[in-house]
Amino acid sequence: MSLKLENIKVNIGEKEILHNINLDIKEGEFISLLGQSGCGKSTLLKTIAGLNELKEGKVILFGEEIQKKEPHKRGTVIVFQDLRL
Q: Where are the domains of the chain?
A: 3-73
Question: Where would I find the H helices in 1-85?
Answer: 41-49
Res 81 pLDDT > 80: no
Res 2 pLDDT > 70: yes
- Give 22-64 pLDDT, tens digit per residue: 999 999 999 999 999 999 999 999 999 999 999 999 999 999 9
CA nearest neighbour of 8 among 50, 45, 59, 46: 59
**Sign of the C-alpha dihedral computed for residues 43, 48, 50 and 54 taken in this order:** positive
More confident position, 28 or 81: 28
**Sign of the C-alpha dihedral computed for residues 35, 51, 4 and 15 taken in this order:** negative
Q: Model pTM?
A: 0.88
**Which homologous superfamily does the CATH classification assign to the domain defined by 3-73?**
P-loop containing nucleotide triphosphate hydrolases (3.40.50.300)
Strand ranges of the sheet holding 64-65, from the earlier edge strand across to the other edge = 15-25, 3-12, 56-61, 64-65
Res 85 pLDDT > 70: no
